[in-house]
């Protein structure tokens, strides 16, 4: 209701010159309600997808432990990592879904990646990093 009334207020000057102001206000109200309904459906679909994905990870087996590490992330980190790197949503869309800022999405993604890297360090090493036989890291750049 607040959003609809704010939109009416934002368009007040244009509404004053309309031949049928009530019809235009009602159109704003209908559009706002439809957007709210669609947002709820989108959020519910994303939540169901994330829940299904997390449950599916528990049934998968990997020698490296990636699935276990991903499934073991705290809920916000799991959501941010899956939405960003697997579903490839933009941080702005993830922030909308999670109700947080883009910066916070990026923070959760960094934290999640760090936890996965700690759980599975050899799998996620960058091409420029190599593990020597003694376990120390060396830079392989020329």
What letter does residue 86 receive in the DSSP assignment? Answer: I
CB 70 within 8 A of CB 81: yes
Q: Where are the beta strands (DSSP E) in the chain?
A: 129-131, 137-139
- Low-confidence winner among 21-25, 59-63, 80-84 (lowest mean pLDDT): 59-63
The confidence band for 134, taking pLDDT boundaries of 50, 70 and 90, is very low
Query: CB neighbours (10 Å) of residue 97?
Result: 19
The confidence band for 62, taking pLDDT boundaries of 50, 70 and 90, is low
**pLDDT by residue (tens digit) across 3-55?**
888 988 998 998 888 888 888 888 888 898 998 889 889 889 888 888 888 77
Q: Please check the confidence at residue 119 and state whether its pLDDT lies above 60.
A: yes
| Secondary element (H or E) of residue 2 | helix 2-10
In this prediction, residues 78-94 reach a mean pLDDT of: 92
Q: Please check the confidence at residue 71 and state whether its pLDDT lies above 60.
A: yes
């Amino acid at each position: 209701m607040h959003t609809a009334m704010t939109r009416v207020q934002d368009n007040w000057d244009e509404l004053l010159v309309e031949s049928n102001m009530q019809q235009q206000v009602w159109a704003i109200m209908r559009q706002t309600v439809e957007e709210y309904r669609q947002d709820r459906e989108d959020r519910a679909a994303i939540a169901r997808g994330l829940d299904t994905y997390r449950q599916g990870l528990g049934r998968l087996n990997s020698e490296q432990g990636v699935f276990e590490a991903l499934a073991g992330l705290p809920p916000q980190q799991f959501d941010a990592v899956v939405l960003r790197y697997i579903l490839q949503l933009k941080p702005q869309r993830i922030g909308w879904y999670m109700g947080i800022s883009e910066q916070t999405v990026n923070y959760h993604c960094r934290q999640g990646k760090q936890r996965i890297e700690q759980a599975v360090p050899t799998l996620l090493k960058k091409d420029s990093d190599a593990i020597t036989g003694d376990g120390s890291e060396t830079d392989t750049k020329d």
